[in-house]
């Protein structure tokens, strides 16, 4: 999809494009009987994703750090769709303890799990370490989702096997994965404040989302699991994600307004990859504007993907 298609909204090979909305890409699709977890599902494109999945009949679990905001989001959705099935569970992705508590609570509900939308994140935040002593953007955007996915994976495998319905995992990445540190992932300098760059650190975390999906996809295919794993770039949307750089992003928006989307358009690629039957069996890919797109050389690296997986496992093991 080129710049002209982005501006005009001209559909790509999928039949959808930058102007498509989440409702349009899931039109006439029934998700009744499916259970979906949406991290960060209480605001922005996460909220729209939750709403559209609920509209299509799915049982939606909104996983959010702020449960009050998530409960308000649930009320807003149910006011529009009174028969929607929505539950709210607390999840702080910057805390591995919170991730484990969420997984325990979800698994105790004895629900199946068909779809996992790893949507939540932080962007361009000043340097800080998580409670687990990991750089905050990497901890929240990648490591928390890495652990969450691993903890929910057995449930997804069981659900896919018992129902015969393909499970889907969707990682929200970004075109920002192109703008990372020269080495891609700073394994040995992850927490080095002296070289920290908020934009590159964000790009690093978004590259990690793609590499995570790449390696997990390879592992699941190897064992024959009926689960796909893909990444999406939602596009440029003004949401709470940009709270650390609001003034800068508003200034950029003034001169690049043709490239920006509204929230329903921003949630379209997530909903397309998570639910549309066109993508049955498609895994390990990266999508933007509801069409497959190319990634950076770092994102294509099998070696880097395996290294990140092992590094992430070691980080998690080191946290008591």
Q: Catalytic residue numbers?
A: 196
Q: Among candidates 68, 18, 16, which has minimal Cα distance to 262? A: 18
DSSP 240: G
The H-assigned helical ranges of the chain are: 3-8, 22-25, 44-55, 67-80, 96-108, 136-138, 144-163, 198-223, 246-255, 263-266, 268-275, 302-318
- CA 174, 169, 165, 313 torsion: positive or negative? positive
> Is there a contact between 36 and 308 (Cβ–Cβ < 8 Å)?
no
The phi, psi pair for 66, rounded to 5°, reads -100, 100
Name the token pair of 107. Answer: 């698994």
The β-bridge partners of 168 are: 115, 228
In the 8-state DSSP scheme, what is residue 125?
P
Q: How far apart, in whole angstroms, are the C-alpha atoms of residue 257 and residue 247?
A: 15
Per the rule left: phi > 0, alpha: psi between -120 and 50, beta: everything else, 116 is beta
Cα–Cα–Cα angle for 30, 31, 37, nearest 5°? 160
């Amino acid at each position: 999809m080129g710049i002209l298609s982005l501006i005009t909204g001209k559909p790509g090979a999928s039949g959808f494009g930058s102007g498509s909305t989440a409702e349009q890409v899931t039109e006439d699709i029934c998700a009744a009987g499916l259970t979906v977890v949406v991290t960060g599902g209480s605001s922005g494109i996460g909220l729209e994703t939750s709403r559209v999945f609920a509209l299509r009949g799915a049982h939606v679990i909104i996983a959010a750090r702020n449960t009050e905001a998530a409960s308000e989001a649930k009320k807003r959705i149910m006011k529009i769709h009174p028969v929607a099935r929505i539950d709210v569970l607390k999840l702080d992705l910057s805390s591995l303890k919170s991730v484990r508590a969420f997984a325990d609570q979800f698994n105790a509900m004895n629900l199946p799990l068909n779809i996992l939308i790893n949507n939540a994140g932080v962007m361009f935040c000043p340097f800080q370490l998580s409670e687990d002593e990991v750089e905050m953007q990497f901890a929240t955007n990648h490591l928390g989702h890495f652990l969450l996915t691993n903890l929910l994976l057995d449930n997804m495998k069981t659900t896919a096997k018992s129902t015969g319905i393909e499970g889907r995992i969707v990682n929200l990445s970004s075109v920002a994965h192109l703008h990372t540190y020269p080495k891609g992932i700073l394994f040995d300098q992850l927490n080095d404040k002296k070289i920290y760059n908020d934009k590159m650190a964000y790009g690093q975390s978004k590259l990690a989302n793609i590499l995570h999906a790449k390696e997990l996809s390879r592992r699941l295919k190897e064992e024959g699991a009926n689960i796909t794993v893909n990444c999406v770039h939602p596009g440029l949307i003004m949401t709470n994600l940009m709270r650390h750089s609001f003034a800068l992003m508003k200034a950029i928006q003034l001169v690049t307004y043709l490239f920006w989307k509204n929230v329903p358009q921003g949630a379209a690629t997530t909903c397309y990859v998570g639910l549309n039957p066109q993508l049955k069996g498609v895994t390990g890919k990266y999508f933007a504007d509801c069409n497959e797109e190319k990634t950076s050389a770092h994102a294509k690296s099998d070696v880097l993907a395996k290294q990140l997986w092992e590094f992430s496992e070691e980080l998690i093991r080191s946290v008591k």
